[in-house]
Structures are given as C-alpha cells and as structure tokens.
C-alpha cells in the first residue's frame, strides 16, 4: 500500500496519551494515528453521506415507508 506523510500538531496531553499507548502496546504512534484517521473518516463519511441523503429525501416530497413495512431480507439482493 502506498503511503504519504502527514504532519500535524496536537495538544501535549494528546501526544502524551498517544505516546503512553504506543509504549504499552509496542506499536508506533504512527500506527495509532493512522488507525484513528481511518476510523474517524469512516464515521465522518457515514455522517455526511447520511445527512446529504436525508436532505435529498426531504426535498423530494417522496413518501416514507414505515420501518415495519420494509422487507429487510430482500434489500441488497
């Protein structure tokens, strides 16, 4: 996997917590920062894509379907 370097500044208390976690687990600070960024991006993408879909739905004047009427087993097939 190709990587690129990202430099940023964080509060000293966050750096110290990250440093302690890395020391206790034998992994690098970079490992945890990369993992945190990946997880955070997934959460942010989910949030904003859902927000956009919700706004699009409200603007469409389409009728909603009650939750109990959705055939969940047939979705995605």
Q: pLDDT tens digits, residue range 5-30? A: 999 999 999 999 999 999 999 999 99
User: What is the model's pLDDT at position 1?
Assistant: 82
pLDDT at residue 77 in the model: 57
The reported pLDDT for the residue numbered 61 is 86
- Cβ-count burial 56-76 (b if 16+ within 10 Å, e if not): eeeeeeeeeeeeeeeeeeeee
Question: Could you report the per-residue pLDDT of 24-73, keeping only the tens digit for each?
Answer: 999 999 999 999 999 999 999 999 999 999 999 999 988 888 999 988 88
Closest-CA residue to 15 (of 36, 42, 40, 39): 36
> Residues 40, 46, 52, 54: is their CA dihedral positive or negative?
negative
Please indicate, yes or no, whether the overall pTM of this predicted structure exceeds 0.85. Answer: no
């Amino acid at each position: 996997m190709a990587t690129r370097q990202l430099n940023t500044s964080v509060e000293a208390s966050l750096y110290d917590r990250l440093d302690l976690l890395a020391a206790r687990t034998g992994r690098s600070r970079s490992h945890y920062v990369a993992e945190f960024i990946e997880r955070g991006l997934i959460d942010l993408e989910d949030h904003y894509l859902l927000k956009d879909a919700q706004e699009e739905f409200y603007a469409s004047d389409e009728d909603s379907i009650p939750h109990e009427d959705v055939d969940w087993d047939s979705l995605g097939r």
